[in-house]
Amino acid sequence: PPMSAVEFINKNPFHASDGHIKRPSNNFILFRKIAHDQKNQTPALSDYNERQFSQIIGKIWKGLSQGEREEYKQLGKEVAEMHKKMFPKYKYQPKR
């Protein structure tokens, strides 16, 4: 991945504006958020709307090799570990 877990967390903090603690992102969401950051920095990609961009990202994700996906899996583990250290009492509680 083009960024470390620390860089990712600095760009995507776990706290929402209302104080709610967000769940750590899964591997695909990490990939999509990083790709979205790159989209905003690349003029040729900024012509796509979010729906088109999501479809493209999904196809790219499916085409990644196992080794490339493994990098995002490792990043996901690092982000989850940092989340656990920052919020040791956190427990996912979905709204019903």
- The structural domain count of the chain equals 1
**pLDDT tens, position by position, 3-45:** 788 888 877 778 777 878 889 989 999 999 888 888 877 777 7
Residue 95, in any domain of the structure: no
Residue 49, in any domain of the structure: yes
Query: So what's the pLDDT on residue 1?
Result: 62
Q: Which two tokens stand for residue 7?
A: 């860089």
Q: Which helix (H) or strand (E) holds 72?
A: helix 66-86
Report the CATH number at residue 60. 1.10.30.10
Burial per residue of 43-67, b for 16 or more beta-carbon CB atoms within 10 angstroms, e otherwise: eeeeeeeeeebeeebeeebeeeeee
Residue 92, in any domain of the structure: no
- Quote the crossing angle between the two packed helices 27-41 and 66-86, to the nearest 10°: 100
Residue 72, in any domain of the structure: yes
Note the pTM of the prediction, 2 decimals.
0.79
> What is the Cα–Cα distance from 78 to 96, expressed in whole angstroms?
29
**Domain carrying residue 50:** 5-86
The residue written with tokens 């656990």 in the block is: 84
Residue 94, in any domain of the structure: no
Query: So what's the pLDDT on residue 17?
Result: 73
